[in-house]
């Protein structure tokens, strides 16, 4: 019996090795990585340089190590594209593994980014079982040269990401797929929690719709304009900022942090636009009176202070946003939007943001 199981184990390992021998692998760092507020980080698949900036809590670090919004850009003539990651953490967050622990592929067709394929990894297995497992994103394509981007998982962590193509195919660096660099900093809404695929975040929708590079610095449940974030963002090499700063926290944290946050950033980035968004509607307010009350007083505090801020600071703006359809049926869990809700949110702010950015030559 032991011999039988040993033979099965050897056969499984041999088949896995044979499958990997069908591919050529290139580490994503040898291609083009985009979508990051902080471009140079010791781990290229994390969103913050923890050696350069300090003051972080354990929760901050956990969230900023996640790869949400990071894009790999490349060109290939391969008929098949696959992925081979090395995970240190595989998220089991709801609702879809194709976002939290999956990879999402788009290919340019007729000048526009068109969805091409995705894959997901298993959170019910340990990291050692899933790491370095090759999974296909798309297959049976023609052999024309294609421009591709892959979105990395929204809520998992990696130390390596290899793009795999059919052995002998071309695999080259792609261009940075979008123009300029705009920081999107916010809550789980900006992080992309409850999207069904990694490319369905607000940063993903806005970048593909506008051609501008919206860089995702969403931190789920942890965006309250804290001093450590202000200090790091003061050193960010970006052209503009868009904030979802009033979705987390309370009316008290808004009052305590807002003006210190703005003062830090306007001093560090004179002449750059700081665009704050009104928080989107949480559907759990519809019948829960306690939730409705806390959301109401927090929004009232943000509205009253932002009226002062837009008059006090030349480059500070406050815009409305909306992730709710007329039937109020665009939520996953009463807090986070569905993909439809995220699309509506991105569309609701797209024109106001572009109008402001044009004033600064960002177009």
The model's pLDDT over 299-334, given as tens digits with 9 standing for 90+, comes to 999 999 999 999 999 999 999 999 999 999 999 999
The pLDDT confidence band at residue 123, using thresholds 50, 70 and 90, is confident
The average pLDDT across 14-33 equals: 79
pLDDT of residue 94: 57
Cα–Cα distance for residue pair 270/184, rounded to 1 Å = 18
From 209, 107, 201, select the one nearest 154 (Cα to Cα).
201
Return mean pLDDT, the chain.
Answer: 93
**Low-confidence winner among 131-135, 182-186, 251-255, 280-284 (lowest mean pLDDT):** 131-135
The average pLDDT across 139-155 equals: 98
For β-strands 240-244 and 274-277, DSSP reports them as parallel
Query: Residues near 234 by Cβ (< 8 Å), separated by ≥ 6?
Result: 264, 265, 267, 268, 269
Against a cut of 0.85, is the pTM above it? yes
The yes-or-no verdict on residue 2 having pLDDT over 60 is no
The average pLDDT across 110-115 equals: 97
pLDDT of residue 93: 75
137-to-47, 142, 165, 199, 329 alpha-carbon distances in Å: 24, 15, 10, 13, 31
What would the two tokens of residue 1 be?
């019996």
pLDDT of residue 19: 55
The yes-or-no verdict on residue 125 having pLDDT over 90 is no
The average pLDDT across 29-34 equals: 98
The average pLDDT across 94-119 equals: 92
Q: Cis ω on the peptide bond leading into residue 167 (within 30° of 0)?
A: no
pLDDT of residue 7: 43
If one looks up domain 179-358 in CATH, what number appears? Answer: 3.40.50.1110
Question: pLDDT > 70: what percent of the chain?
Answer: 94
Please indicate whether the domains covering 22-173 and 179-358 agree at the CATH topology level: no
Cα–Cα distance for residue pair 216/148, rounded to 1 Å = 19
Q: Can you name the residues that pair with 103 across neighbouring β-strands?
A: 119
The yes-or-no verdict on residue 20 having pLDDT over 70 is no
pLDDT of residue 273: 98
pLDDT of residue 18: 42
The yes-or-no verdict on residue 351 having pLDDT over 70 is yes
If one looks up domain 22-173 in CATH, what number appears? Answer: 2.60.120.260
The pLDDT confidence band at residue 9, using thresholds 50, 70 and 90, is very low
The yes-or-no verdict on residue 137 having pLDDT over 70 is yes
The yes-or-no verdict on residue 10 having pLDDT over 70 is no
The yes-or-no verdict on residue 296 having pLDDT over 70 is yes
The yes-or-no verdict on residue 12 having pLDDT over 50 is no
- Can you give the residue ranges of every domain in the chain? 22-173, 179-358
What would the two tokens of residue 147 be?
């421009």
The pLDDT confidence band at residue 143, using thresholds 50, 70 and 90, is very high
Q: Where are the alpha helices (DSSP H) in 234-325?
A: 251-268, 289-312
Query: Residues near 169 by Cβ (< 8 Å), separated by ≥ 6?
Result: 24, 76, 77, 78, 79
């Amino acid at each position: 019996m032991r011999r039988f199981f040993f033979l099965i184990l050897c056969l499984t390992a041999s088949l896995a090795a044979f499958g990997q021998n069908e591919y050529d692998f290139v580490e994503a760092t040898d291609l083009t990585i985009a979508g990051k507020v902080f471009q140079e980080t010791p781990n290229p698949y994390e969103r913050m340089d923890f050696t350069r900036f300090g003051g972080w809590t354990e929760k901050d670090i956990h969230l900023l190590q996640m790869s949400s919004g990071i894009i790999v850009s490349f060109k290939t003539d391969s008929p098949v594209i696959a992925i081979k990651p090395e995970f240190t953490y595989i998220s089991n967050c709801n609702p879809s593994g194709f976002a939290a622990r999956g990879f999402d592929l788009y290919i340019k067709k007729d000048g526009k980014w068109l969805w091409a394929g995705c894959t997901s990894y298993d959170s019910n297995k340990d990291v050692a079982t899933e790491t370095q497992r090759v999974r296909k994103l798309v297959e049976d394509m023609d052999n024309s040269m294609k421009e591709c981007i892959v979105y990395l998982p929204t809520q998992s962590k990696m130390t390596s990401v290899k793009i795999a193509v059919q052995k002998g195919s071309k695999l080259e660096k792609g261009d940075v797929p979008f123009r300029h660099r705009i920081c999107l900093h916010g809550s789980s809404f900006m992080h992309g929690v409850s999207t069904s695929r990694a490319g369905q975040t607000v940063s993903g929708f806005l970048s593909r719709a506008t051609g501008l590079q919206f860089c995702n610095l969403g931190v789920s449940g942890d965006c309250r304009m804290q001093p450590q974030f202000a200090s790091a963002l003061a050193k960010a090499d970006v052209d503009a900022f868009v904030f979802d700063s009033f979705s987390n926290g309370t009316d008290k944290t808004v009052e305590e942090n807002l003006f210190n946050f703005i003062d830090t950033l306007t001093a560090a980035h004179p002449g750059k636009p700081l665009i704050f968004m009104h928080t989107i509607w949480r559907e759990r307010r519809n019948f829960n009176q306690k939730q409705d009350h806390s959301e109401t007083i927090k929004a009232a505090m943000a509205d009253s202070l932002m009226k002062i801020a837009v008059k006090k600071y030349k480059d500070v703006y406050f815009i409305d946003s909306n992730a709710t359809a007329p039937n109020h049926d665009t939520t996953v869990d009463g807090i986070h939007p569905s993909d439809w809700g995220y699309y509506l949110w991105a569309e609701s702010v797209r024109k106001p943001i572009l109008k402001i950015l044009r004033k600064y030559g960002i177009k």
